[in-house]
Structure 1
Amino acid sequence: MDWLKEHPEVRTIRVAAADLNGVARGKRIPARFSGKVFTEGTRFPFSVLNLDIWGEDIEDSPLVFESGDCDGLLMPTERGFMPMPWLSAPTGLLPIWMFHMDGRPYAGDPRQALARVVDRYTARGLTPVVATELEFFLIDDSGKTLRVPPSPRSGKRRTGGETLSLRSLDAFDTFFTALYDACEEMDIPADTAISEAGPGQFEINLIHQGDALKAADDAWLFKMLVKGLARTHGFAASFMAKPYELWPGNGMHTHFSILDKDGQNIFNDGSDKGSALLRNAVAGCLAALPDSTLVFAPHANSYERLVPNSHAPTGIGWAYENRTAALRIPASGPAARRIEHRVAGGDVNPYLMIAAILGAALIGIEDGMTPDEPLVGNAYAQSLPQLPATWNMAINAFAESSLIARIFERELIENFLMCKRQEVHYMAELSEQEQTELYLDTV
């Protein structure tokens, strides 16, 4: 509430939680009535965090008619208020998450799912350190064909990819300056920006956090901010996995290490190769990859990105300093030894993604798993076990997995499966253009 006192110009607030697809669901409240959100919380149905990508109820879900579509209790997260710089009127955003009326965390809330995994680390005296790298396209979607927006500086459209091009960054300098200013206002630790391989494609890294929940919050809020701010500049920004058939897609790479109770990185043994615990974590992540692909590739369009020779992994393997592998151990000083998980698309729910990665790594550590030898050379050219190649294959692997059952609670698993199966059914009725229009803004 101190934030509102410091910003008397704010007349309205938004309260928002992430649903299973990472879409923000919530309410608009006059600022003068916002105090009761902290004392009493707010309410909306449990089913709201389990809507499909169109925002429709899941047919035959027990959360809808069978239960009377009853309410959950939503309380503010520890994040507190922040501005919404993409809106013309001064507005405060208050992230919330869902509980039962008796105060128990709601298992179907993606943020609660991540909190549950983090609690398992805490119980072992461990702290995950997490950073994300988010790729997105700036797009002119005003016509039937997606195009790169004209540069505000020159008025020209750059039709090709310009990897690490300062010219591409400079062409949209007004947007990026506003974006960094907004990230500072929202306490999102945006670090380096680069241009990527696709036309109008960029990547921004978010600084590592010793709080996995904040790292996921940062990624979720960053996606919301980028999409909202781009519209104020006259174009769209999209994290959809593959908006252009002929260009690489958007990924969301995740780097993580784990600290012990003394703050020491358990992946570091002083060597270039890293510790046995690093290899345990790698093995857990690799073992869970087929079953968790649905989390990393949750939409129909996601599987357009996961194809050979496209800068996205397809085989299940790991390597040192090799970007063709699903898991990469970046070159670094020993104290910064970490794992880079490269499978997820930009279209993921960050809470579920980080929960799946950290949950799998912990299983590898708990079970003392050992990976095969690291790859050398081009992973695409090697005979490796493959990720599920289709949406249906990924759904089936997720449904049948004993490893997924150790990471997520049964209610979330069932809700996610019902959601994805409904989306598969209705997505078949859409043309490719209609799918693109749907995913462009929602994911």
Structure 2
Amino acid sequence: MDWLREHPEVRTIRVAAADLNGVARGKRIPARFADKVFTEGTRFPFSVMNLDIWGEDIEDSPLVFETGDCDGLLRPTERGFMPMPWLASPTALLPIWMFHMDGRPYAGDPRQALARVVDRYKARGLTPVVATELEFFLIDDSGKTLRVPPSPRSGKRRTGGETLSLRALDAFDAFFSALYDACEAMDIPADTAISEAGPGQFEINLMHQPDALKAADDTWAFKMLVKGLARSHGFAASFMAKPYSLWSGNGMHMHFSILDEAGRNIFNDGSEKGSGAMRAAVAGCLAALPGSTLIFAPHANSFERLVPNAHAPTGIGWAYENRTAALRIPASGPAARRIEHRVAGGDVNPYLSIAAVLGAALVGLEDGLVPDDPIIGNAYAQSLPQLPATWNLAINTFAEDPLIRRIFDEELVENFLMTKRQEVHYMAELSEQEQTELYLDTV
């Protein structure tokens, strides 16, 4: 509450949690009643954490009529208030997460799922260090065809990709300046921005931090910020996996290392190759990739990105300093030895995605797994085991893979499966243009 007292201009707050699709669900509350959220929490039905991409109840879900659509208790996370600079009126976001009325964490809450994985690391005296890289497109969606917005500086539209182009960044300098100011105000550690391979496509890296929950919070809030701020500048921003069929899609790459109780990176053995613990973590991630593809590619459009020769991985393999591989070990000094997981699209729920990666790495450490040899050269040209290539196959693999149930609670697994199966059914009724309109702002 100190933050609100220091910001008397804030008249309303939004309390919000991430559902299984990463969509913010919550309420608008006058700021003068915000203290009640801290003392009593707020309530909404458990089923709200398990809506489909349209915001509809899941048919036949036990969370709806079978239990009387009963309420869960939502309490503020440790993050506290964050300004919402994309709104015209001074407003604060208060992230919340869900519990049972007796205080037990609700297993179907994605943030609780990540907390569960982090607690398993803590029990072993380990701390994951996490960073995310987020790609997004700036888009003029005012017509029937998606286009790059005209530059506010020149009024011109760039029709092609401009990888690492300062000109492309400078064309939207006012937007990026406002974005970095907003990130500072929201305590989101935004670092480098670059232009990417698609028209109007950019990437911003968030800094490494030894707090996986905050890294996920930052990523979730950053996506809301980028989309909201873009609208206030007169265009759209989208993390949709593949808004343009002819151009590369949006990824959300994740870098991670693991510290022991003394603060030492267990992936570092002083060599260029990394430690046995690093290779065990790699092996765990590789073993879990078939089952966890649905987490990394959760939507119909997601699979348009995961195709050969499109700067997104399709084969299950790892490599040193090789961006065609699903898992890349970047060149670095030994102390900074880390794994880059390159499968997830920009359309993921960051809580589930980070939980899936860290949970898989922990399986590798617990079981002492050893990976196959790292690949050399173009991964697309090699005979590697493949990721599930379709949404339905990914759903079925997620359902059947026992490693998924070592990472996620059974209730979350079943809720996610019901959600995706319902979406598959109703998505078949939509045209490609209608799917694009749905995903453009939602994910």
TM superposition score normalised by structure 1: 1.00
> What does residue 351 of structure 1 align with?
351
Partner of 1:364: 364
How far, CA to CA, are the matches of 1:125 and 1:7 in structure 2? 39
Match of 1:65 in 2: 65
Which residue type is aligned with residue 149 of structure 2? P
Please give the alpha-carbon distance, in whole angstroms, between the structure 2 residues aligned to 1:92 and 1:202.
27
SS at match of 2:319: strand
Matches within 5 A, 1:114-129: 114-129=114-129
Q: Secondary structure at the match of 1:98?
A: strand
Map 1:386-405; keep pairs closer than 5 Å. 386-405=386-405
Q: What is the RMSD of the two structures over their aligned residues, measured on CA atoms?
A: 0.2
Aligned mates of 1:111, 1:34 — CA distance in 2:
22
Query: What is the match of residue 26 of structure 1?
Result: 26
The DSSP-based 3-state class of the residue aligned with 1:17 is strand
Cα deviation for residue 425 of structure 1 reads 0.1
**Which residue is equivalent to 1:181?**
181
Q: Does 1:12 align with 2:12?
A: yes
Separation in structure 1 between the aligned mates of residue 117 and residue 51 of structure 2, nearest angstrom? 23
Distance 1:34 1:94 in 2: 9
In 2: Cα distance, 1:34 partner to 1:279 partner: 47
Q: CA deviation at 1:71?
A: 0.2
2:418 alignment counterpart? 418
Equivalent position SS for 2:97: strand
1:52 aligns with 2:52: yes
Deviation at 1:51, TM superposition (A): 0.1
For 2:81, the aligned partner's letter is: F
2:340 maps to 340
Quote how far apart the aligned CAs of 1:57 are.
0.1
**1:18 Cα shift?**
0.1
What's 1:203 paired with? Answer: 203
SS at match of 2:208: strand
Give the secondary structure class of the aligned counterpart of 1:416.
helix
The aligned residue for residue 429 of structure 1 is 429
1:242 match: 242
Q: Distance in 2 between matches of 1:27 and 1:86?
A: 17
Q: Which residue of 2 aligns with 1:149?
A: 149
Matches within 5 A, 1:271-286: 271-286=271-286
**In 2: Cα distance, 1:221 partner to 1:82 partner:** 9
Deviations 1:88-136 (A, max 9, x none): 0000110000000000000000000000000000000000000000000
Q: Which amino acid aligns with 2:377?
A: G
Matching residue's letter, 1:102: D
Write the letter of the residue equivalent to 1:181. D
- Take 2:378 and 2:349, find their aligned partners in 1: how far apart are those partners? 29
What's 2:99 paired with?
99
SS of match in other structure, 2:13: strand
- The residue aligned with 1:318 is 318
Report the Cα distance in structure 2 between the residues aligned to 1:44 and 1:319, rounded to whole angstroms: 45
Deviation by residue 1:382-428 (Cα, 9 ceiling, x = unmatched): 00000000000000000001000000000000000000000000000
Cα deviation, 1:2-59, whole Å, max 9, x if unaligned, reads 0100000111000000000000000000001110000000000000010000000000
CA–CA distance in 2 between the matches of 1:252 and 1:90?
Answer: 30
Q: Tell me the CA shift for residue 82 of structure 1.
A: 1.0
Which whole-Å CA distance do the structure 2 matches of 1:255 and 1:92 have between them? 30
Whole-angstrom distance in 2 between the partners of 1:401 and 1:272:
33
The one-letter amino acid of 1:103's match is: G
User: In structure 1, what is the Cα distance between the partners aligned to 2:118 and 2:83?
Assistant: 27
SS at match of 2:132: strand
1:336 CA drift (Å): 0.2
Which aligned segments of 4 or more residues in structure 1 are displaced greater than 2 angstroms? none
Give the letter aligned to residue 212 of structure 2: A
Q: Secondary structure at the match of 2:94?
A: strand
Counterparts of 1:17 and 1:189, CA distance in 2: 21
The amino acid that maps onto 2:238 is S
3-state SS, counterpart of residue 163 of structure 1? coil
Q: Which amino acid aligns with 1:410?
A: E
Percent identity reads 88
Deviation per CA, 1:206-264, whole angstroms, max 9, x where unpaired? 00110000000000000000000000000000000000000000000000000000000
How far apart, CA to CA, are the structure 2 residues paired with 1:414 and 1:9?
43
What corresponds to 1:230 in structure 2?
Answer: 230
The aligned amino acid for 2:257 is: S
Q: Hey, what's the Cα distance between the residues in 2 that align with 1:437 and 1:336?
A: 41
After superposition, give the CA deviation of every residue in 1:292-347 in whole Å (9 maximum; x if it has no partner): 00000000000000000000000000000000000000000000000000000000
The residue number in structure 1 matching 2:439 is 439
C-alpha separation in 1, matches of 2:192 and 2:224: 19
| Aligned counterparts of 2:333 and 2:380: Cα–Cα separation in 1 | 28
Alignment of 1:269 onto 2:269: yes
Q: Deviations over 1:258-310 (max 9, x none)?
A: 00000000000000000000000000000000000000000000000000000
Letter of the structure 1 residue corresponding to residue 242 of structure 2: K
Query: Structure 2, unaligned stretches of length 5 or more?
Result: none
User: Match for 1:12: what amino acid?
Assistant: T
Aligned equivalents of 1:30 and 1:278: distance in 2?
Answer: 49
Q: Which amino acid aligns with 1:336?
A: A
1:176 and 1:237 map into 2 onto residues whose CA distance is 12
- Give the whole-Å Cα distance in 1 for the aligned partners of 2:331 and 2:386: 25
Residue identity matched to 1:162: E
Residue of structure 1 equivalent to 2:376: 376
The equivalences for 1:82-93 within 5 A come to 82-93=82-93
- SS of structure 2 residue aligned to 1:309: coil
Rounded to whole Å, the distance in 1 between the matches of 2:126 and 2:390 is: 36
Name the counterpart of 1:214. Answer: 214
Equivalent positions of 1:245-264 (< 5 A) are 245-264=245-264
Aligned residues: 443
How far apart in 2 are the matches of 1:365 and 1:418? 31
In structure 1, C-alpha distance between the alignment counterparts of 2:353 and 2:262, rounded to whole Å: 27
Partner of 1:291: 291
- AA paired with 2:161? G
Which runs of 5 or more residues in structure 1 are unaligned?
none
1:148: Cα distance to partner?
0.1
SS in 2 for 1:62: coil
